[in-house]
Chains A and B, each alone.
Chain A
């Protein structure tokens, strides 16, 4: 079973993602912000991280930077999920090593198919 970590501070969005991913046989972890996510990553190595950018405290960019410092997380793919849709933001996200940048509002079906594509 593939593991996915959802990092977002919006409970309703997290709930939708969590429900859908579980229905599609993923093991799901949830973090409400960057620091929580890094805490979880200390003990778990997910196959993929769905990462929001605009979060209090440690934002998405910062979280990704720290993930990339962890050698054991080398195979963990990171997908940004963000309302920020400016070209510069997307560029920045990809440059930091994200596998994909998905802008909000997203299609939940599309997210599932994208994740599957990335992990197979």
Chain B
């Protein structure tokens, strides 16, 4: 019957009966194996609602389906991924070892699972034929019916699972039959459910009442405590994870998926399917308990109930339902596993050399044979496992052990999908750590306690160390063994994965793929995406390899398409990165990603983005950084310059303003004598009756003001010359004492008229200076002094003090002194003291300013003493 459906489907592959979302969803029903079919009832009968997490996980997972699966599907289709091992190894740079590791993990997980199916078949077969639960196994294998069932399954799987070598081709026959079986098992399970509930009993209420009469109903319907909640939580997470990772689920969900949009239906149909499956579980369990009690294996209530009521037909139906659940699980699992084994372990680790020099026909045959052999041996090993171990264990516990083992792949897959730093060595470390923990906390105790009957390990811990008790590691004793093992294995797995991933970055290839996987939402970027791949090869070499696996016709066709797509001329000799990636992907379908990678890299002169190149990239970025730094420095310099400019500008503005003020003052100073001259001249001119004396006075004023005017002009020009440095000093070696004497000589007339005395006590000392200018300085200082001293009593002293490096010349008088408020301004231009004795101010207000300029241009200084008791005291300092 199943063979027929598979055949029919293969022939009508295009039919809408097969290519639709319902079939796709039903094919996902492969999740419900014998474990579901029989195991759930057993658990429900003994532990209550604990069977639910197995199905809650997938139900909860279904909304996330869209998010996660879409990503996985797109990558898988694009990269032609054929199994979960391919997927994970590809994510980590097509790492051959990871592919093998994942495969081995899956085999370890699934073998007991398959043996569980065999156990179910064999035991139910026994019940149907003899009504006895215990299987007599004393005879040889050949007298064991299970053996023949196993062989039958192997033949079916082999035949339909290995139709083509390209594993990414769909197994439409398998999909159709799995879908059909999903209908059968659900239908029959519902039938028995209805039968038990409404025919054996009078509806749900009746069962409830009868059951609560004999058992503590509370225990079956509520959580015992908060820890029960933890257990529930972890169990749910386990099956949530498993629904993605079980090879058979991956096979059905991803590899056999025809169209992405089917997902939209699957996300609500699949949970619905699971819910329907679980509707009657609890009632069958309770009903069975009421009818049959604890004397028989509660896992087989579904069979035993109708048998007890002598309904043979119904029992047969149930048996057939269970049988089909087993078939689909075993067939799909073995196909998935055999693909993984051949592509990720056997070919890359052993037979690659053999293939390289063979023709297409032989290679294909060889690959198929490897897979067939793999399927066969898987089932055989599972059978042997069953014979030796499974009999003592319940369906439920074997199932969960498988789940926990397969869950070790979860961190690598899920985290790796969203975290681009996840690295290959992290995967290896994580999976190995996780598996070790599972072995210690779950498998070892089962072997020791359950099979060898050594109890001390579980109850007291290894060598009596209670902290390391396998079921209560580090004192966490509130979880059930499964949840406990899951918790700790995940803990170490994730920790190792993260730690080792962060320790260093992988090679360029690994990063390349990580980038592709993590950023796959940007799907168009993935187009033949070679990120950092550097390499070149002769197209003819690549073609030769492809032809060996795909045949020349298919190879030509693929290349034609590729050329057209990228508009590459057909006579191109060297392959570029895109073509190499494309070819590798074509090969992945046939021999798996690891092998494809090895084959291609043999003909591709791959420059593995050599260290030199990486260094160069680094160098470039370093240069960028340096340039950046340089720019920053420049920018800082600019800022400084800007500030300087701003200051200079402010200085200029200030100087400009000063100049304005200077000119204003000059104009004012010039206008003053002019005004006086003009007014006086006007008066003299107009007034004929003026006294002669007054006329003379006005004329005198005119002369005086004219002199003042010319003096003013001379001084203005002088100070302008001095302050702009345009005046060249005429430096000669002279005697300072003589120079002072000359200056005194200039003011003799005034001294005599004012009848004051001058004392010059300076001594002869040679200095280098411009004599005319210094005479100007001393004359100025002397006439200033003369202005402020009183007639007759005035005294002016000139003294000199010599130091090694300089001389000081003092000019002291006993006049009115410098007013305190003026002290700070006396060297400013236009300063004129009000304290002058003469009624009319003389001087231009430039005298001291000019003196200051002259002395400073000689490298000297001039200042006045403050707080002199009487008169003023000026000092001129000149360098020697």
Contacts and interface: CB of A to CB of B under 8 A. Distances in A.
A12 B701 contact: yes
Nearest to B832: A56
Contacts of A56: 834
A12 B668 contact: no
Q: Is the interface of A mostly helix, strand, loop or mixed?
A: helix
A35 to B, nearest CB: 11
A84 B687 CA distance: 29
Interface in A58-117: 83-84, 104-109
A54 B668 contact: yes
A104 B683 contact: no
A118 interface: no
A94 B683 CA distance: 29
A106 B675 contact: yes
B694 interface: yes
Given A11-B840, A12-B701, A83 B671 contact: yes
Nearest to A23: B687
A16 B698 contact: yes
A17 interface: yes
Given A23-B687, A56-B834, A109-B686, A12 B680 contact: yes
A93 B677 CA distance: 25
B682 interface: yes
B701 A15 contact: yes
Given A83-B672, A84-B668, A12 B705 contact: yes
Nearest to A10: B672
Contacts of A20: 679, 683
Contacts, number: 65
B676 A13 contact: yes
B687 A104 contact: no
Interface in B645-684: 664, 667-668, 671-680, 682-683
Interface string B827-849: 00000001000011000000000
A12 B686 contact: no
Nearest to A57: B834
B750 interface: no
B694 A10 contact: no
Contacts of B664: 84
Given A20-B683, A56-B834, A83 B694 contact: no
Interface string B186-201: 0000000000000000
A109 B672 contact: no
B667 A10 contact: no
B672 to A, nearest CB: 5
Nearest to A15: B701
Contacts of B169: none
B671 A19 contact: no
A16 B834 contact: no
B676 A12 contact: yes
B668 A16 contact: no
Interface residues of B, number: 26
Interface string A3-46: 00000001111011101100100000000000000000000000
A83 B675 contact: yes
B683 A19 contact: yes
Contact of A16 (B671, B674, B683, B840): B683
A54 B675 CA distance: 14
Nearest to B669: A83
Given A12-B705, A83-B672, A17 B679 contact: yes
A101 to B, nearest CB: 15
B704 interface: yes
B591 to A, nearest CB: 97
Given A20-B683, A83-B668, A105 B840 contact: no
A109 B682 CA distance: 8
Contact of B675 (A84, A105, A109): A105
Contact of B704 (A12, A23, A109): A12
B672 A108 contact: no
Contacts of B687: 23
Contacts of B701: 12, 15-16
B679 A11 contact: no
A17 B698 CA distance: 12
B675 A104 contact: yes
Contacts of B668: 54, 83-84
Contact of B676 (A16, A19, A23, A54): A16
A56 to B, nearest CB: 5
B667 A108 contact: no
A107 B671 contact: no
A103 to B, nearest CB: 9
B839 A11 contact: yes
Given A19-B694, A83-B671, A13 B834 contact: no
Contacts of B686: 109
Interface in B577-607: none
Nearest to B672: A10
A16 B702 CA distance: 11
A16 B704 CA distance: 14
Interface string B50-91: 000000000000000000000000000000000000000000
B730 to A, nearest CB: 37
Interface string B328-351: 000000000000000000000000
Contacts of B694: 19
B683 A108 contact: yes
Contacts of B840: 11-12
A105 B834 contact: no
A44 to B, nearest CB: 23
Contacts of B705: 12
A13 B683 contact: no
A26 B676 CA distance: 20
Given A16-B698, A23-B687, A54-B668, A108 B839 contact: no
A46 to B, nearest CB: 20
Contacts of A83: 667-668, 671-672, 675
Contacts of B834: 56
Given A23-B687, A83-B667, A13 B672 contact: yes
Contacts of B697: 15
A13 B675 contact: yes
Contacts of A106: 675, 678-679
B697 to A, nearest CB: 8
Interface of A: 10-13, 15-17, 19-20, 23, 54, 56, 83-84, 104-109
List 10 tightest A-B contacts by C-beta distance, closest first.
Answer: A16-B679, A12-B676, A83-B671, A105-B675, A104-B675, A83-B668, A105-B678, A12-B701, A11-B840, A108-B682
Given A105-B671, A109-B682, 13 more contacts: A10-B676, A12-B679, A13-B675, A16-B676, A16-B701, A20-B683, A23-B687, A56-B834, A104-B674, A105-B679, A106-B675, A106-B678, A108-B683
9 contacts: A12-B705, A16-B679, A16-B698, A19-B694, A19-B698, A54-B668, A83-B667, A104-B671, A104-B675
